Amino acid sequence: MKPIRVALLGCGTVGREVVRLLHEQADELAARAGAPVELAGVAVRRPHKHADLGDLLTSDASGLVTREDVDVVVEVIGGIEPARTLLLEALKAGKSVVTANKALLAEDGPALAEAADASGVDLYFEASVAGAIPLLRPLRESLAGDRITRVAGIVNGTTNFILSAMAASGASYADALEEATRLGYAEADPSADVDGYDAASKAAILASLAFHTRVNSADVHCEGIRAVTAGDIAAAATMGCVIKLLAICERTPADESMPESVSARVYPAMIPATHPLASVDGAFNAVFVEAEAAGQLMFYGQGAGGAPTASAVLGDLVAVARNRVLGGRGPRESAYASLPVRPIGTLRTRYHVSLEVVDRAGVLSTITGEFARHGVSIAAARQTGEGNGNGSARIVVVTHKAPEAALAATVDVLAGLDVVHGVHSVLRVEDLGRKGVAG
Ligand code: NDP
Ligand code: HSE
């Protein structure tokens, strides 16, 4: 059988493992794909660091992706450029593409899909979300006969490690981040993880597949975990909750402001300690998918790391190789539904608001009055303090579901009141119940 020839772009954490598995499992991969899968070349930035790859090495990635003897391009460089230009060149030249690049897919996925369609070749990207966990193929293929209502979960290992460490030991955010860096989970510049952008890219990809709608990273409301304090974690515990950085993609029903739409958002939220996502600790990922006929499905496993991510890359590579051997293509982009994306302000969420206030009679009623004035219904309010007019008291308010915009306006007003020393924290409370609805 004529071999399937692979150009590998990038040979770092993931790329090195792709090379190892291609080499170690060559016979089995050939049997599964229906033809030998061979490396044709490996493009890196600094070839001197990869001398063991010998003649396969090149620093001319552009030349490699259009070479006559290349069938498939595997991209594990990351970032927008030069990855975008290289992949567009490869697709135009009739090469199928496998990529782990969530940032690029979330920013410009449709351009890649259109280039793949124009050339009649494959575009696979299982490794771009949740590392080793088979998640995109179930959304694209296994659930293609169902109507997905929600995809929600933990899709960033670094932040889950930090929040788990804070919950386990009472550590501060800064100390937990230092530990994550020491153990190699967080990068030197951890902002893509801790500011939520990595999870937002993944949410854009998940929402696009689940709801047959183009959703890009700019459509995803994104808040990270930098502001989460040990006090927030303790407050969550007193409510029987834990705090997790969630990516939530929902089909939201029509209401007075919008037709049926899609919501995609990333933020730290309190979830019940009894929910299965609450016990996902360390750098693991877990995602709940809800579909009308299938009900709830949970996907769990290693969402990062060289070997787990390479497993997903190799799975895609075998799929592409099979398509080449047998003829035909894998699934194309499906964006027929074209649902509008719901602005965050119209979503309805429960909130936990913690305030530092003047410790005297009537303050609780002033505070709860502001919630009422903005139409935000209170589920519970608790005040701690001596009530003697000296010093501060702490007021914690938990709301029923309320529009984000109304809650934000309430908090703005509260922050400006004379009797409020400060808004200590504002956290969403997600019950992650059965129905993926806006309110
Ligand atoms: P690394 O930073 O470890 O490796 C990047 C590789 O790309 C290096 O080999 C580097 O070359 C090469 N490279 C960088 N710029 C160029 C260029 N201009 N031309 C050619 N080669 C270049 O990244 P990772 O392996 O961690 O990540 C790769 C991709 O996989 C990213 O898209 C990432 O988001 C995704 N991913 C990573 C996961 C992980 O756990 N690491 C998990 C899931 C997805 P050199 O070695 O010479 O510097
Ligand atoms: N930085 C990511 C994480 C890697 O921590 O989950 C996987 O995409």
**Domain annotation covers residue 342:** no
Q: pLDDT tens digits for 43-81? A: 999 999 999 999 999 999 999 999 999 999 999 999 999
Q: For the residues 175-179, what does the mean pLDDT come to?
A: 94
Query: Is 0.75 surpassed by the pTM of this model?
Result: yes
- pLDDT at residue 438, as a whole number: 35
- pLDDT at residue 227, as a whole number: 94
- pLDDT at residue 388, as a whole number: 66
Quote the ligand 2 centre to 304 CA distance (angstroms).
Answer: 5
pLDDT of 246 strictly over 90: yes
Let me know whether 101 and 179 are in one domain: no
Total number of domains in the chain? 3
Among 160, 285, 279, smallest CA distance to 224 is for 160
Pairing of strands 348-358, 4-9: unpaired
- pLDDT at residue 191, as a whole number: 95
Pair 209, 144: CB distance under 8 Å: no
Range of the domain at 151: 136-301
- The encoded tokens of residue 40 equal 């044709």
Q: For the residues 246-268, what does the mean pLDDT come to?
A: 96
**Domain annotation covers residue 436:** no
- pLDDT at residue 435, as a whole number: 45
Pair 271, 260: CB distance under 8 Å: no
Let me know whether 196 and 251 are in one domain: yes
**Which pLDDT band, with edges at 50, 70 and 90, does 384 fall under?**
confident
Please state the separation of Cα 429 from the chain's center in Å: 19
332-336-340 Cα angle (round to 5): 125
Please state the separation of Cα 316 from the chain's center in Å: 20
The answer to whether 202 is a known catalytic residue is yes
Let me know whether 114 and 19 are in one domain: yes
Mean pLDDT estimate for the chain: 95
Pairing of strands 261-272, 221-222: parallel
Let me know whether 293 and 158 are in one domain: yes
**Domain annotation covers residue 291:** yes
If DSSP codes are grouped into helix, strand and coil, which group holds residue 157? Answer: helix
pLDDT of 186 strictly over 90: no
Pair 128, 105: CB distance under 8 Å: yes
Let me know whether 93 and 53 are in one domain: yes
Q: How far apart are the first and last CA of the chain?
A: 57
Annotated binding-site residue? 92: no
Q: pLDDT tens digits for 115-141? A: 999 999 999 999 999 999 999 999 999
- pLDDT at residue 327, as a whole number: 94
Pair 9, 65: CB distance under 8 Å: yes
Let me know whether 283 and 423 are in one domain: no
Q: Out of 74, 124, 309, 316, give the residue to mutate to test ligand 1, the one with the largest number of ligand atoms within 8 Å of its CB.
A: 309
Ligand closest to the CA atom of residue 47: 1
Of the residues 301, 318, 334, the one at which a domain ends: 301
- Rounded Cα gap, residues 185 and 39, in angstroms: 29
**Domain annotation covers residue 434:** no
Task: Give the residue, 396 or 439, on which the prediction is more confident.
Answer: 396
**Which pLDDT band, with edges at 50, 70 and 90, does 436 fall under?**
very low
CATH code, domain with 148: 3.30.360.10
Of the residues 265, 293, 326, the one at which a domain ends: 326
In short, whether 122's Cβ falls inside 6 Å of ligand 2 is no
**Domain annotation covers residue 334:** no
In short, whether 193's Cβ falls inside 6 Å of ligand 2 is yes
Q: Which of 92, 95, 202, 435 is catalytic?
A: 202
Let me know whether 291 and 144 are in one domain: yes
In short, whether 157's Cβ falls inside 6 Å of ligand 2 is yes
CATH code, domain with 102: 3.40.50.720
Let me know whether 125 and 141 are in one domain: no
pLDDT of 437 strictly over 60: no
Ligand closest to the CA atom of residue 282: 2
**Which pLDDT band, with edges at 50, 70 and 90, does 434 fall under?**
very low
Let me know whether 151 and 283 are in one domain: yes
Pair 223, 268: CB distance under 8 Å: yes
**Domain annotation covers residue 437:** no
pLDDT of 439 strictly over 80: no
In short, whether 305's Cβ falls inside 6 Å of ligand 2 is no
Let me know whether 242 and 257 are in one domain: yes
Let me know whether 146 and 289 are in one domain: yes
**Domain annotation covers residue 332:** no
C-alpha dihedral over 312, 315, 320, 322, to 10 degrees?
Answer: 180
Quote the ligand 1 centre to 76 CA distance (angstroms).
Answer: 5
Annotated binding-site residue? 49: no
Ligand closest to the CA atom of residue 186: 2
Q: What percent of the chain has pLDDT over 90?
A: 92
Of the residues 326, 361, 380, the one at which a domain ends: 326
CATH code, domain with 364: 3.30.70.260
**Domain annotation covers residue 331:** no
Let me know whether 128 and 168 are in one domain: no
**Which pLDDT band, with edges at 50, 70 and 90, does 395 fall under?**
very high
- Rounded Cα gap, residues 18 and 35, in angstroms: 18
Handedness of CA 362, 368, 370, 372 (dihedral sign): negative
